[in-house]
């Protein structure tokens, strides 16, 4: 069983920045993939950015150049630095990981609101 704890969401003005954190309950070396998805009411959950097999990164076109993934292996944590935030980025952001053996896990989500 993998537990994911998200933090860093909140209210920010357009053009501002936030950094989301996702801490896993085990070494991220055991996680085949780890990253972030988001969802707004009436829409399907969509990829934001993720580390995949071989530490390859995958970003949604809408966030390229603004959002950046990073990780701290010692803290079992993945980060999403979000810059130049737009109102369209408003959503609940979910951490997702795929354990090599145990499969897919999701965090409970953290709200990001971009508004003046």
Tell me the two tokens of residue 23.
Answer: 């801490």
Q: Provide CB contacts within 8 A for 109, sequence distance 6+.
A: 6, 39, 92, 93, 94
DSSP state of 100: T
Higher pLDDT: 20 or 102? It is: 20
Which is it for strands 18-24 and 91-99: parallel, antiparallel or unpaired?
unpaired
pLDDT, greater one: 2 or 53:
2
Q: Is the pLDDT of residue 32 over 90?
A: no
The residues, ordered by sequence, that sit 6+ positions from 42 with a Cβ below 8 Å of its Cβ are none
Question: Does residue 27 surpass a pLDDT of 90?
Answer: no
At residue 55, does pLDDT exceed 80? no
| In the predicted structure, residue 44 carries a pLDDT above the cut 80 | yes
Interatomic CA distance for residues 52 and 20, integer angstroms: 18
Predicted pLDDT at 43:
92
User: Which run of H or E residues covers position 69?
Assistant: strand 67-72
């Amino acid at each position: 069983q993998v537990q994911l704890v998200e933090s860093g969401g909140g209210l920010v003005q357009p053009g501002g920045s936030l950094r989301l954190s996702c801490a896993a309950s085990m070494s991220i070396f055991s996680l085949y993939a780890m990253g972030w998805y988001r969802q707004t009411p009436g829409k399907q959950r969509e990829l934001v950015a993720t580390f995949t097999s071989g530490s390859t990164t995958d970003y949604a076109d809408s966030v390229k150049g603004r959002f950046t993934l990073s990780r701290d292996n010692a803290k079992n944590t993945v980060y999403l630095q979000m810059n130049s935030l737009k109102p369209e980025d408003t959503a609940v952001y979910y951490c997702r990981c795929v354990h090599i053996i145990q499969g897919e896990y999701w965090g409970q989500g953290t709200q990001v609101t971009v508004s003046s």
